[in-house]
Amino acid sequence: MAGVRVISLVPSLTEAVAVSVPGALVGATEWCSHPVDLDVVRVGGTKNPDVRRIIALAPDLVIANEEENRAPDLAALRAAGVEVLVTEVRDLPGAFRELTRVLAACGAGRPRWLDEGESAWARLPVPDARSTAVIPIWRRPWMVLGRDTFAGDLLRRLGVDNAYASHEERYPRIPVEELRGAGADLVILPDEPYRFTREDGPEAFTIPAALVSGRHLTWYGPSLAEAPAVLSAALRAASR
């Protein structure tokens, strides 16, 4: 597909397209932070994209995600005649499948980083021991990973079981008092979507805290190749 014009409403997919199909992206959200030198029109946020601006850019394709983007916005784009590709990712195999589909729709061949990502996760050794963790993604109110999440699947492969993996909601709101009593060995605090830091998050718990890169825990794209090593290092540091 020569000269395809793409707008991405998903930060991880923005990075995937930008490094795989240089020049294809004409627009992305304000939250699309990678590549760091990305120079495209910004079209609002993931939850509040500027539909008029997107339409005015005349894209051949808008890439979205069923979880990150709102159905009414995507419907408005389709009503204006814009093709919208919606991804759905609940686990690591699904991420690789959807990345392959997105890149093919953008006219890209299979990039080297995708092979490297699959290889990095396939080489993971069986964990010597398993731990249980609560994984907050927001504070005020506290929200955690629940069932069927991509990040939860990555952690499971690294030997960490999500204390709320059987919760009926994917991102339940849980009072911090309940989180403290969940019987977890560890609390895992990513730096996005809420930016947990050493001063903001660990003090709410009495168990070890692992501060991890949100990009490596929740993004599906080029970061998948280094994610096993980066996340494993953060988990080891917390257990010392």
pLDDT of residue 128: 85
Q: What CATH superfamily classification does 124-238 receive?
A: Nitrogenase molybdenum iron protein domain (3.40.50.1980)
pLDDT of residue 109: 87
Please write down the HEC assignment for all residues of the chain: CCCCCEEECCHHHHHHHHHHCCCCEEEECCCCCCCCCCCCEECECCCCECHHHHHHCCCCEEEEECCCCCHHHHHHHHHCCCCEEEECCCCHHHHHHHHHHHHHHCCCCCCHHHHHHHHHHHCCCCCCCCEEEECEEECCCCEECCCCCHHHHHHHHCCEEECCCCCCCCCCECCHHHHHCCCCCEEEEECCCCCCECCECHHHCCCCEEEECHHHHHCCCHHHHCHHHHHHHHHHHHCC
Is 40:26 a contact under the CB 8 Å cutoff? yes
Query: What are the tens digits of pLDDT across the range 137-161?
Result: 999 999 999 999 999 999 999 999 9
Query: What are the tens digits of pLDDT across the range 34-88?
Result: 999 999 999 999 999 999 999 999 999 999 999 999 999 999 999 999 999 999 9
CA distances from 213 to 14, 51, 78, 223 (A): 18, 31, 34, 10
Q: Which residues are within 8 A (CB) of 71 and not within 5 positions of it... i.e. 6 or more apart?
A: none
Q: Band of the pLDDT at 2, cuts 50, 70, 90?
A: low
| pTM, full prediction | 0.93
End-to-end CA distance of the chain: give it in Å, rounded: 51
Can you give the residue ranges of every domain in the chain?
A: 6-110, 124-238
Q: Band of the pLDDT at 196, cuts 50, 70, 90?
A: very high
CATH number of 6-110: 3.40.50.1980
Q: Which of 90, 11, 83, 96 minimizes the C-alpha distance to 46?
A: 11
| Residue count of the chain | 240
pLDDT of residue 154: 98
Section 171-188 average pLDDT: 97
Section 21-46 average pLDDT: 95
Q: What percent of the chain has pLDDT over 70?
A: 99
> Distance between CA 51 and CA 147 in Å, rounded?
31
**CATH topology agreement for domains 6-110 and 124-238:** yes
Indicate if the pLDDT at residue 1 is higher than 70: no
Q: Band of the pLDDT at 29, cuts 50, 70, 90?
A: very high
Is 231:158 a contact under the CB 8 Å cutoff? yes
pLDDT of residue 134: 98
> Distance between CA 98 and CA 169 in Å, rounded?
23
Query: What are the tens digits of pLDDT across the range 87-100?
Result: 999 999 999 999 99
